[in-house]
A and B are shown apart, each in its own frame.
Chain A
Amino acid sequence: MVLVDIRETKSVKASDIFLQIRPGKDFEVITILRALVKEQPVDESQVQETGLTLEQLQDFVDRMKKAKFGVFFFGMGLSMTRGKHMNSAALLTLAAELNAFTKFVAMPMRGHGNVTGADVIMRWQTGYPFAIQFGRGYPRYNPGEFSTVDLLVRGDVDAALILGADPGATMPQPAIDHLARIPTICLDPKVTHTSRLSRVHITTAATGISAPGTGYRMDEVPLPLRPALKSPYPTDEQVVRRIHEAVLKKPDWLQQGNRMALNQV
């Protein structure tokens, strides 16, 4: 196992080789690796910027090519730092290109909760995994514009329903401030940072402990969740259904007949 990180983490003990790179240099490291995989010359000064030596990188490439089945696991250190999705794209390209030599795949390490499940379902219902805007009656996608954190920081939303997440603990302060300012409803089995700042906190049964459901593993394999305990609280699904039923009783503002947007703008 080769570990690449900007600092010595607990995982170093488990790894055979640790490559400590300079913060924010992921894209550069991956690009140099891609060049070395294709036996292209690389500039020594560019190698130096990464905090690694050419020998280390060449050795890494040789090992990858010799592997029978290689996997890149990557996380938010790659996708949420300088370069963001460009870093992820570069790593996926590296994995694809390594298949000219051996079997290689890349897999994102997912964060808390059933984030993969949310991703999967949003994709089949709307075509997009997250950052989806229904304002025009059909799904539109633009990370940075429609992602939760950006909407909150800009103060573009006037109500929020939070489910299966604790943005109050992880999001930047301006986003949290806005959540506290607007009517925020939070569904959570326990008291969280978000529930404390919410206008309404509905306590629900914990999925997998006292509520049934389906969790998607990070390789997108669905697993049934069977409750071991009973809960006095309703499940998330029951609460959302009841809210939905109540909303349906309001006069329908949708037009009759179907409309299609032939040219999305």
Chain B
Amino acid sequence: MLRITGGKVYDPLHGIDGQIRDICIHDGKVVDSVDGGRTIDASGMVVFPGGVDVHTHVAGGSINFARAMTPEDHRRTVAFIRSQTTRSGLGGMAPTTFATGYLYAGMGWTTVNEAAVPILSAKHTHEELRDVPIVDKSCCVLMANNEILLDLLEQGEMERARHLVAWQIWAAKAYGVKAVNPGGVAAWKWGNDAKQMAETVPGYTSLTPAKIVTGLAQIIDELGLPHPIHLHCNNLGAPGNISTTLETMKSLDGRRAHMAHLQYHSYGGDDWSTMRSEAPAMAEYFNQQKNLTCDAGAVLFGDTVTITADGPWQHLLYKLTGRKWGNLDVENETGCGIVPYTYRPSNLVNAVQWAVGLELLLLIDDPWRIFLTTDHPNGACFWRYPEIIQLLMCRDFRQECVTQLSEKARERVHLPDIDREYSRFEIAIITSAGPAKALGMPNKGHLGAGADADVVVYDEDEDIARMFGHPRYVIKGGEIVIEEGDIRATPEGREFLVQPSFDREIEDFLRPLFEETYTMSFENYPVEMHRIERPEISECIDVST
């Protein structure tokens, strides 16, 4: 039992905006009142629901490949020394698993969604997620380049495709579905890409990216997954790609979707030298589309390593930078590319990217539909979120940062003209309440009775980045995990799954195809339940509109 008393509480779901309330905790849940137990005096402090990361890459084949590729970064980064409560590890661009849990919890984030898991290596991802302590976890399975599924979508066999999607979600023990560069990664196996929504995907006769997106979004709504299609649009990162993104949004035609790292999809211009921000146009359209949510995928200047299933984009990035490049192809399902990268304020393209992420966060007017992410580690590492919070809450600081940009870059962006400052209430929405709602996790992101007792207590501090980077207390599932800057306990987190219903006969269809085209036996393909540490199966919902 635990009572947090006297703190200014920010609980956007219940409209609580800095009022002084007591938060009572019993048995890992928030309750109305408790008798006895420990009391934390939070007078003069700020109380938030634990942070929720809707889109991050912390476990699985791709981030682990990135770890292998960047020993020079491990060497210069913060190291966690083994103690009685913590295991050793390394921070940096691609932190090790234990360190990932400590770093997230250390800034008050208690739930993370690993955004890209191939079914074929999902066992690996779940094994890594087991080794990420403290935080609760979920993951999205990669689908929009799965060749068996693409064939069904091309043939218009939607009924069978729906059963297949449901089967695959359960086989991967996933929570949601991620679509990355629909059709483009499949085409990359042959050195091609799919950039335009209406163009046929190379290797197919009539299948277009638009057809994949709408087909998958439709299926996911029919299955009633709590989290809608998690969509990484075609033509990521390219100048002028706003047209592709808007076309994708239009093709969804009212179906639910979460647009991942929208920053990378909101550029104007014709080439690298004319690239500019189209954030206002994007925000204007997005504001009207109530079926959509998005996350920022914001960029911060500095070193990072980019990892994405978008193989062709990564090859381009390798050619642009001349730095290391790793590529993984995952049989018939997907692929992945890895390139270390440094975002520089002096670089025109990087400057535009930096501005676009912040502009989207500031121009999209409903904080319940845009969430704080950096597409870790692509735009920046997740442990730099407090820097973004400072940029959003403090206009003067933002304008000071704008002066780092070249004059040419400043002409291409709109950030200098934006005066909006986020309130703490809005920060609580974009970091916790909003993403929890978009993920369909009713017990996360708020402090009402029945919620999971994931609570963060910050010291009030004029230095916003310091305040949000160093919480005084972090409580996870009712247990105090961070106290006075020290990791006091490292409980194992839970993993959220969904089990959409499907017809068992889909296996009769899949098995012969699988045995013909895959390199393992069918029985070994699905992830067995015993591999999931503390699973929690979420209910599907009714999405009929």
B128: chain A residues within 8 A (beta carbon): 124
Question: Which residues of A come within 8 Å of B, CB atoms?
Answer: 68-69, 96, 99-100, 102-103, 105, 120-121, 123-129, 134, 136-141, 214, 216, 220-224, 252, 254-262, 264
- With A126-B88, A127-B96, A134-B88 already in contact, the answer to whether A256 and B83 are too (CB < 8 A) is yes
| Residues A220 and B98 in contact, CB atoms below 8 Å apart | no
Q: How far is the CB of B468 from chain A (nearest CB, A)?
A: 19
Report the bound CA distance from A105 to B330 in whole Å: 12
B528: chain A residues within 8 A (beta carbon): 224
| Residues B83 and A138 in contact, CB atoms below 8 Å apart | no
Q: How far is the CB of B100 from chain A (nearest CB, A)?
A: 9
> Counting CB contacts under 8 A, is B153 at the interface?
no
A221: chain B residues within 8 A (beta carbon): 120-121, 124, 330-331, 519-520
- With A221-B121, A223-B520 already in contact, the answer to whether A124 and B97 are too (CB < 8 A) is yes
> Counting CB contacts under 8 A, is B16 at the interface?
no
The winner among B92, B96, B315 for most chain A CB atoms within 10 A is: B96
- With A120-B64, A224-B524 already in contact, the answer to whether A138 and B124 are too (CB < 8 A) is no
- With A124-B128, A134-B88, A137-B88 already in contact, the answer to whether A99 and B83 are too (CB < 8 A) is no
| Residues B83 and A126 in contact, CB atoms below 8 Å apart | no
- With A123-B67, A137-B81, A222-B127 already in contact, the answer to whether A103 and B191 are too (CB < 8 A) is yes
A-B contact list, 29 entries, CB within 8 Å: A96-B325, A105-B327, A123-B64, A123-B68, A125-B89, A125-B97, A126-B88, A127-B90, A127-B94, A128-B71, A138-B80, A138-B81, A139-B96, A141-B74, A141-B75, A220-B124, A221-B121, A221-B124, A223-B520, A224-B528, A255-B84, A258-B85, A258-B486, A259-B81, A260-B79, A261-B78, A261-B81, A262-B78, A264-B75
> Counting CB contacts under 8 A, is B460 at the interface?
no
Report the bound CA distance from A127 to B73 in whole Å: 10
Interface size class of B (residues with CB under 8 A): 35 or more
Of A68, A103, A129, A254, which is within 8 A of B82 by CB?
A: A254
Chain B 185-213 per-residue mask, 1 if CB under 8 angstroms from chain A, else 0? 00001110000000000000000000000
Give 20 new A-B contacts, CB below 8 A, not counting A123-B67, A258-B85, A259-B81: A102-B191, A105-B327, A123-B68, A125-B89, A125-B131, A127-B89, A127-B96, A128-B71, A137-B81, A138-B81, A138-B82, A139-B90, A141-B71, A220-B65, A222-B121, A222-B123, A224-B123, A254-B83, A260-B81, A261-B79
Report the bound CA distance from A222 to B84 in whole Å: 32
Q: How far is the CB of B347 from chain A (nearest CB, A)?
A: 23
Report the bound CA distance from A102 to B123 in whole Å: 31
The winner among A99, A129, A224, A258 for most chain B CB atoms within 10 A is: A258
Of A138, A214, A257, which is within 8 A of B89 by CB?
A: A138
Report the bound CA distance from A123 to B89 in whole Å: 10
What 8 A-B pairs come out closest when comparing CB atoms?
A138-B79, A137-B81, A261-B79, A222-B123, A127-B74, A259-B81, A138-B88, A127-B90
> Counting CB contacts under 8 A, is B318 at the interface?
yes
> Counting CB contacts under 8 A, is B319 at the interface?
yes
| Residues B191 and A127 in contact, CB atoms below 8 Å apart | no
B421: chain A residues within 8 A (beta carbon): none
Report the bound CA distance from A129 to B189 in whole Å: 27
> Counting CB contacts under 8 A, is B17 at the interface?
no
A69: chain B residues within 8 A (beta carbon): 189-190
Q: How far is the CB of B48 from chain A (nearest CB, A)?
A: 22
The winner among B67, B120, B487 for most chain A CB atoms within 10 A is: B67
Q: How far is the CB of A95 from chain B (nearest CB, A)?
A: 9
Q: How far is the CB of A195 from chain B (nearest CB, A)?
A: 29
Of B71, B83, B520, which is within 8 A of A259 by CB?
A: B83
Q: How far is the CB of A145 from chain B (nearest CB, A)?
A: 13
B75: chain A residues within 8 A (beta carbon): 140-141, 264
A137: chain B residues within 8 A (beta carbon): 81-82, 88
Q: How far is the CB of A254 from chain B (nearest CB, A)?
A: 5
Report the bound CA distance from A214 to B121 in whole Å: 12
Which chain B residues in 315-350 approach chain A with CB under 8 Å?
315, 318-319, 325, 327-331
Report the bound CA distance from A260 to B328 in whole Å: 33
Of B84, B127, B315, which is within 8 A of A99 by CB?
A: B315
